[in-house]
Structure 1
Amino acid sequence: MNLQIVPARTGLHWAIQGVRTFWRQPLAMSGLFFLFMATVSLVSMVPFIGGALALVILPALTLGMMAATQSAIQGKFPMPAVLFTALKTGPQRKSMLHLGGWYAMLFLGVMLVSMLADGGTFANVYFGGSPITPEVVNTESFQVALWVSMVLYIPVSMMFWHAPALVFWHGLPAGKSLFFSLMACWRNLKAFSVYTLVWIGIFTGSGILALLIAGLLGDPQLMMAVLMPMAMMVAAMFFTSMLFTVQDCFSASPKEPV
């Protein structure tokens, strides 16, 4: 496994590959992303530990979406079981759970720091403990907590971007996978910047399209009925594109999903 440096324009190529691959198996990839979200929601409902447990399984479910993408590339229909590939019995499962534990601790650490800015209002809204209202969002303390969380989460996301694939497909322990993932994102920062901007544009464009459709139908209440499925579909496309970032940043190709 060797780290590769790619040009900035590769970020656009990653996004295009994700969209194209999604449309090879749109029903399967949309359904798997819905199952992804449903699994996280159900696990988070476990009393006392549900929120932390949902964070622990996120890296494994992300790997499942990558494995589903690999199946779609090969022209296969990804079955629901592929989403839980990393949680099946095997030598990588322990490392994957270690990775999930690190993710939960770091994410909760970010939330704890945000609490210093607004006393926990942002964290309560994020975890669904408090309703989000214009009055709350417009407060200065909430805005500070939001920006602090976003800034602190950037290095966390860089550490975990490639880590699930490095643990499962390349056999790295959790600690090393976090280091190599961070280095891959940093060394390819220009490509990831383009990649991020492209997806911001796609999400923004889908929102504008939903507004236009609702306007043409003459019923503003239909906007959410159009926006939510469209947002889920675009999010599924985004997750579909993640595998291509791993393949281009590391020379060794991942093995086929089991």
Structure 2
Amino acid sequence: MSVPPEAAPAPRIVVADVPASRGASWLGGGFAIFRAQPMAWIALSISFLVVLLAVAFIPFIGPAISGFLEPVFFASFALAAHKQLAGEKLEVTDLFLGFRSNVRTLVNLGAILLLLRIGIAFLMGAMGFPSMFESPEKMTPEDVANALDGKLWILAFGFLTVALVTAAAWFAPALIAFHGMSTSHALRWSLYAMVSNPGALAVYFLAIFLMFIVAFIPWGLGLLVALPTLFASTYVAYRNVFETPPPAAPAPTAPP
């Protein structure tokens, strides 16, 4: 167990240093949660995609709002998994559990992550990555290949940077939902958890990547399993890495 230096006294949590192999079990735990109530999780996942897509189509501000709300929904999935493991039945309305408390903090987290992604995109452009989306309907595969010639390293840099930002903030929605942390405090703890468990997170994200490759093979039908498994696994990972320390042992009583 390890605690970051100068940690605030509340919430009383510690970060577990887990082995790299544990990352795969997080995804397995997510699948176990999905398998217990599969139809409910499929309904939650489809509803999430429909809501996010509908919001994204709002002119001008839609994509930004979708980015702001993403952590709110991820908090909802963690809360839904917690509710299920407590023995309760899930409902489609559980998709909005994250809106019931700390929603402003979660939206702030979404705004920060969106700004970071936009900043990475601008940085890639400054490094020479071509803008291919101004008139994509006019571009042929040959045009795309020519535009990317010698620029794939910038694409790899952007992908890696976004992945690191995502990993650093992966636990933040659950920390806000379950511990009432501020946005900065949740990001600090989430980043510390990533630094403490790089192997487990690397295995976890590799397992997610492989799962989605397999999910797309049967005409994408595997996404009905992959998406709920991913969403539920966020709670499993959080529970495994962040543990509430046991209460201090009572002081021994003086002999009579």
Cα deviation 1:142-184 (Å, max 9, x = unaligned): 6344323212112211232001111121111101111110110
TM-score normalized by structure 1?
Answer: 0.80
Does 2:222 match 1:230?
A: yes
TM-score normalized by structure 2?
Answer: 0.81
Paired with 2:50 and 2:32, the residues of 1 have a C-alpha distance of: 25
Paired with 1:140 and 1:236, the residues of 2 have a C-alpha distance of: 37
Q: Secondary structure at the match of 2:36?
A: coil
Out of 64, 69, 73, the position equivalent to 1:57 is 69
Correspondences of 1:18-97 after superposition (within 5 Å): 18-88=30-100, 90=101, 92-97=102-107
Paired with 1:79 and 1:141, the residues of 2 have a C-alpha distance of: 50
Cα deviation 1:75-132 (Å, max 9, x = unaligned): 43321222122223x4x122112112111211211222233333322xx39xxx7358
Does 2:190 match 1:181?
A: yes
Paired with 1:38 and 1:135, the residues of 2 have a C-alpha distance of: 34
Out of 200, 203, 216, the position equivalent to 1:191 is 200
Indicate conservation of the 8 Å contact 2:44/2:95, yes or no.
yes
Q: Secondary structure at the match of 2:243?
A: coil
Identity percentage of aligned residues: 24
Cα deviation 1:35-82 (Å, max 9, x = unaligned): 111111111111111111110000101111112222332343321222
Question: Could you tell which deviates more after superposition, 187-196 or 141-150?
Answer: 141-150
Aligned residues: 229
CA distance 1:230–1:95, change in 2 (3 Å): same
Tell me the equivalent position of 1:160.
169
2:21 partner amino acid: R
Q: Secondary structure at the match of 1:46?
A: coil
1:28 partner amino acid: A
- 1:136 offset after TM fit, Å? 5.2
Cα-Cα RMSD: 2.3
Tell me the equivalent position of 1:135.
142
CA distance 1:75–1:98, change in 2 (3 Å): same
- 1:3 offset after TM fit, Å? 1.2
Correspondences of 1:233-244 after superposition (within 5 Å): 233-244=225-236
2:131 partner amino acid: G
Out of 246, 252, 255, the position equivalent to 2:238 is 246
Paired with 1:83 and 1:54, the residues of 2 have a C-alpha distance of: 15
Which ranges in structure 1 are unaligned for 5 or more consecutive residues? Answer: 211-226, 254-258
Paired with 2:205 and 2:38, the residues of 1 have a C-alpha distance of: 22
CA distance 1:13–1:144, change in 2 (3 Å): same
CA distance 1:84–1:16, change in 2 (3 Å): same
Cα deviation 1:176-221 (Å, max 9, x = unaligned): 111110110121111112222222332333344x2xxxxxxxxxxx
Which ranges in structure 2 are unaligned for 5 or more consecutive residues? Answer: 1-12, 246-256
Out of 105, 111, 115, the position equivalent to 1:101 is 111
Paired with 1:48 and 1:7, the residues of 2 have a C-alpha distance of: 45
1:152 partner amino acid: T
2:67 partner amino acid: L
Paired with 2:191 and 2:92, the residues of 1 have a C-alpha distance of: 30
